[in-house]
Chain A
């Protein structure tokens, strides 16, 4: 789906139905077709006879609750790959079972596939304007499109018509001219806004062109909150400021009814869609949290709804704005009135309905009250004063507050405590009357003290809970980050992140990483899953590859491909998706807390993966540099060292050509011998060089097969230096059937190099013993001589490239210093070791090892 060029989007934009934008769109498309463009009509209800016959794409039918609904067929459109696709209604919502929930997501995918798109849009379908317009027309806003789709379109053509004409076209009952005029004005203004934005982009004006403008809004579970968020978004847009949406999670929020949770999630998604940075904070005092954040983040404007923000202890009737101001908050505060009536108590109502009385907590409360009364009765009968009994009741209320979930228990318990005290322990006893004139004051104070203390207790408890949650979050992230940093390779990184995710979510996690060929390979931690099949089938794989290619989240509980069994999150690198994490979703959705934590973890993972990638690239670059250096050294050394034998060969040959007749036989023979020696030296050099060329990327490209050491040694013996006749070479094998897996040519080269070295650096007549034996799973080869030995200082340097022993033989011929270095590279590539040690009484022993091979004989 990757193309170099993404498609261009042209929107035919109008303020109402009936302005003729579809006709305009089709005419334009026909124009393009005449120019030779490959035009396909995707989904347009209108037929126009334009002379040009246009290819139509057959719709795909989705079976939804027994109804077949025709839908635009995205897959076949992408397969068909036209130059231009014409498709109606950008804001259209797709039938369930489609890949995306919304058509604009389909179109985004088409554009990414490099297909140009023509489409239509009405002004009331733009997200940020929809509620303003629905209040204007009195009709609920239907399908909507995020503003950025409109703003980022490559071209927007405004299809205008007089409102009268539109009314004629649609019938007079649709809307009155005034409304239509207002809509027209709004659409034109939106067009102008868009042009402004483009102009600014052209001048490279960043979003911070009004420095310091930072608009903050709150997210809540209120249905009217969407309007607040949209207003804030429009404002952020108008001021070109940063836009943050803050969600303060209080301890009550986990008890929210499901309907409210859904609204909350929708609102969060809305804020994200409108370009807000969504931030979650924890705390019970919403006002405090907002003020705190506003101060820290340098917020300049706060946009809030009127009702739902009466937070905390709402028995004070101070308004939210007043509280914010009181907390020393500087920003301008904009209050958006709620459109719902009867919202004055909504916050309160919701707060209580969500607390819910549980049987267990009720029992605890009653128990504590009974115990207080019982002990009170005992104290009373023993003449302990009333003050102590009051203290006892207060203690009871505090205990209730500590042991129960809801604040309501503390309140009720405080009340009942006062009345039972009055009933049982004030004169006259067993009545709600009280003789003492000071008793009402006592009751009130007792109630207040009990309630205040209990409230404080509850709050401490909640704060402790939130602190614990926060600490948990921090701890998990820290732990994840630490583990990821410790991971040495990609596979470990994935294992760690999967373990962490599964630990946190308690769900099965499937990780998909692309292999070298770009295929996404699933990985699961649990191997024994019986139902793995349902998560690893082709359909799920499709979702995974979509997520990977588009670097977007999809799957269960999202807008894209919601039919999938798992939620798929892209692990986002800087440029592209690095991997895909699939989370098996049951009936339960992820909580906002889990979601944000999950995303944070995946970010950590992406960082770790990118770092790993960078490390590898760096290593590769270093390796290449080293290789280059090596080659350069080699070339220099070769060109220098080739001259000597070549001079010998050409010089001697020319002597023979010019005057061989005058020479004596013995002289000629000596010259022949020299030419031959030089040629042999060159042949050996070339053999070694050929082996060197096989060192690629620091490792040798080995062609291994199992060989009998005996054969290898015999082969090597046949290739020894001509001068080997002057030395006594013996081979001793402990076992004639020693075998090792090796690249035969290279190992033969190792034998030749070492034995030739021994011949070269020991005086004639020296003994060279080759000894082969098996020990600890390795085949050991020792090549011992009784020559002059190797100085300790040279032992380490011997295996370095271009090192040659200084005590050369008299003839002044230099070796390249390549032989032993090559041996070391070869042996190391085989997984063996090579070295040298002193022989006793004199000389040296070169040894190397190769992993031994056990052979099963097939008869």
Chain B
């Protein structure tokens, strides 16, 4: 199998070098782009398997770049941004980014996210999420046809809302889903006042499917942003 190709879009030289070195050590192939225009060109011509994108680009807004890429490609996009701007991350995720990293980040973190995104991309291309009647992720199994959820083949009883939430997360496995996205998909409308409800349902859902809720295996909380289902090996 070919080594995955990764496109790094980052204007800061030191960070670019750090990422390059890291990817080299892991024997990934990679291309680099210093600005948005270059990134678009590379994305079209090289068809990367994953894009790592810094939101603060010199020539264009990172969110716009995501929208442009999303208009023709489903390639996983991991956004990198400086701390403090939660709103920026949320808008990037809403625009179609899959995951995000906050500066300063550790190399291990970057590699973990990269692997998760690649897994998800592979999972989707090898049959996709939508078509399967059964979703399997580690010990978690969802039988869409019967609407049943199993952990280690033991059925778990979920309320309708919890089931809907779990299905939504499963269909977008590996992606960080923002609060607004989830509210819109599950409740049909977005009201900020519903965010607390969402948290409560997530907590109960997690209690039912996680063995150790404080060390979640399946559903990750991204505080201030949203939730993600982790793809287990």
Contact = CB atoms under 8 A, between A and B. Distances in A.
Contacts of B127: none
B143 interface: no
Nearest to B183: A858
Contacts of A808: none
Interface stretch (B17-25, B65-73, B191-199): B191-199
B200 A708 contact: yes
A124 to B, nearest CB: 73
B199 A690 contact: no
Interface stretch (A168-176, A644-652, A737-745): A737-745
Given A690-B84, A705-B224, A744-B223, A859 B200 contact: no
Contacts of A711: 199, 203, 221, 223
Contact of A715 (B84, B192, B195, B221): B221
A683 interface: yes
B203 A737 contact: yes
B5 to A, nearest CB: 30
B223 A707 contact: yes
Interface string B177-221: 000000000010000111111011101000100000110000001
A708 B83 contact: no
A712 B213 CA distance: 13
Of B195, B207, B221, B223, most A-chain CB atoms within 10 Å: B223
A856 B203 CA distance: 15
A737 B214 contact: no
Chief secondary structure at chain A's binding surface: mixed
Nearest to A712: B223
Interface residues of A, number: 26
Given A855-B200, A858-B187, A714 B195 contact: no
B196 A736 contact: no
A502 B136 CA distance: 77
A830 to B, nearest CB: 16
A714 B221 contact: yes
Contacts of B199: 706-708, 711, 739
B59 interface: no
Contact of B161 (A690, A703, A859): A859
Contact of A858 (B83, B194, B221): B194
Interface string A718-737: 00000000000001000011
Nearest to A694: B84
Interface string A839-859: 000000000000001011111
Contact of B214 (A707, A731, A748): A731
A687 interface: yes
A461 B223 CA distance: 82
Nearest to A711: B221
A513 B203 CA distance: 49
A710 interface: yes
Interface in A737-758: 737, 739, 744-745, 748
Interface in A78-116: none
Interface in A260-292: none
B214 A714 contact: yes
B86 interface: yes
A687 B83 contact: yes
Nearest to A737: B200
Given A711-B221, A711-B223, A736-B207, A857 B200 contact: yes
Of B84, B161, B196, most A-chain CB atoms within 10 Å: B196
B87 to A, nearest CB: 9
B203 A683 contact: no
Contacts of B84: 690, 745
A271 B150 CA distance: 96
A-B CB proximity, top 5 nearest: A706-B196, A855-B196, A715-B223, A708-B199, A858-B197
24 contacts: A705-B224, A706-B196, A708-B199, A710-B213, A710-B214, A711-B199, A711-B221, A712-B223, A714-B221, A715-B221, A736-B203, A736-B213, A744-B223, A745-B86, A745-B224, A748-B223, A853-B196, A855-B196, A856-B197, A857-B197, A857-B200, A857-B201, A858-B193, A859-B161
